[in-house]
Structure 1
């Protein structure tokens, strides 16, 4: 049960260095590391050129994209390439996720071809970040997503329905069955949507002894990423669930926007969300012309 690694990076060279060192220092080394550079404008290209030439006991591959395809496009590209390489499982990772030195060794004990994915416990600022592993409850027209409670992490393993790509290892055979991530999402919800498909071909489990450190701060104001979260969640329902889930999400969301506008609440988010719901109804994908990386709510002018 060999494990390869796919890392997607964009303009975070110092974090990328730590991430790569975290995999290079594993007690069980990966079969290979693929780094997808999402058209970084810092010195990532030069660094990766030097990194690739350093001799190691595992293979190294670098894909320098000519444009920023977002996390979704990056993982699509990396996983597509990794399917041609020699490994049974593929660890997917952002450049700001750093596995504990025993992560791959601890994961390998649980890799079983009946599973579609094996996830680790995400540690954020010294605490388990519960938001990365979730259970889904499907009502008549609504999906209720809940964090798996902290007490579950005292078990050797537990099942889940939805994961983030932080510290997730995907069964390559199952990946071939259900397909690659939705590259048109650009960012956010690509991993959740992938979870919905992977859970149809095998169980997804979390192994808490597999630890990943992911120290991230909170963004201030309305993030540009929120647009993609709303738009892509709607698209996820459209593709994977009966039509009523998609229609309820969009039209009930638009109703909430209208009510909030009347009450004078969440003005910046209302503008963003309304556009996201309408774009989802029109099946729009890719990078939006307004909500690009770096956009901040205070900069938006109606």
Structure 2
């Protein structure tokens, strides 16, 4: 029986990259049944281009920017309520998939059908692992090497080429819109992983065309990005409460270590960074967002 797949892309004002992503999806060895593009209220040029594609995509235009979290919520909801496809394949608008990415994900799905999520091997444009998307094995003392061949179970993963079964979405619900940005994918894949194991599939490679191959860091990020870290620490306060005792307290220790690293560093705008971090950590203690569920097709 042929498996059917919906791809979900969330975009915001990155038209040239978006065009490349859509083209890469249209050139898959295993054809995608639906390409669902969620537009977070981008400028008119993005809107006009997506409208010009007609029925080759399913265009979901939002009237306001709900962030990546809200975009993926709307995209996966559309998959559940408007298609009967078996899997949803989610990605950012700078994720260029390789011609065999989906085929390799589905090949593993045939061997291991009981999975919560499948994550691709995400590379930067130079071919090295993307630092923003390092796979998180169950043993966090272990680093998955770049030449890894065999699939391995993960604790969580990012929304940069992630395959989820319809049954899992029906059971666990949708990504949390109120996260806005940061941590929505970590929370969602950990939620899925509590239903069934999640796996890293190294054969299923994609290219993440970020401007630079760097991880996120409040210590080193520029002033325009500093306010966003409120969401990072607030959201983390919520999802680590769902973890077991060891992983929950390990995460809290790491967060405190980040705080003191900034406090005793010579970083610019130190007080601003510490204030954002404290504000997020405080908000995270009482942050208790609603998990929504999609209706049926």
Indicate the TM-score class for this superposition, using the shorter chain for normalisation.
Answer: 0.7 to 0.9
Q: Secondary structure at the match of 2:160?
A: coil
Residue 47 of structure 1 aligns with which residue?
Answer: 49
1:63 aligns with 2:60: yes
C-alpha deviation, 1:263, in angstroms: 7.5
Separation of aligned partners in 1, 2:189 and 2:198: 8
Question: Which residue of 229, 233, 236 maps to 1:230?
Answer: 233
Residue 88 of structure 1 aligns with which residue?
Answer: 86
- Paired residues for 1:156-195 under 5 Å: 156-195=150-189
Separation of aligned partners in 1, 2:163 and 2:180: 21
Separation of aligned partners in 1, 2:95 and 2:179: 21
Q: Secondary structure at the match of 1:110?
A: helix
C-alpha deviation, 1:257, in angstroms: 4.5
Question: Higher strand share goes to which structure?
Answer: 1
Q: Secondary structure at the match of 1:98?
A: strand
Residue 114 of structure 2 aligns with which residue?
Answer: 114
Q: TM-score, normalized by length of structure 2?
A: 0.81
Unaligned runs of 5+ in 2: 291-297
C-alpha deviation, 1:245, in angstroms: 3.6
Answer yes or no: is the 8 Å Cα contact 1:193–1:236 preserved in 2: yes
Q: TM-score, normalized by length of structure 1?
A: 0.80
C-alpha deviation, 1:191, in angstroms: 0.6
Answer yes or no: is the 8 Å Cα contact 1:132–1:166 preserved in 2: no
- Paired residues for 1:174-253 under 5 Å: 174-216=168-210, 217=212, 218=214, 220-222=221-223, 223=225, 224-241=227-244, 245=248, 249=252
The aligned length equals 272
Answer yes or no: is the 8 Å Cα contact 2:178–2:289 preserved in 1: yes
Q: RMSD between aligned alpha carbons? A: 2.9
Separation of aligned partners in 1, 2:63 and 2:168: 30
Answer yes or no: is the 8 Å Cα contact 1:13–1:42 preserved in 2: no
Unaligned runs of 5+ in 1: 138-144, 287-302
1:30 aligns with 2:32: yes
Q: Secondary structure at the match of 1:93?
A: strand
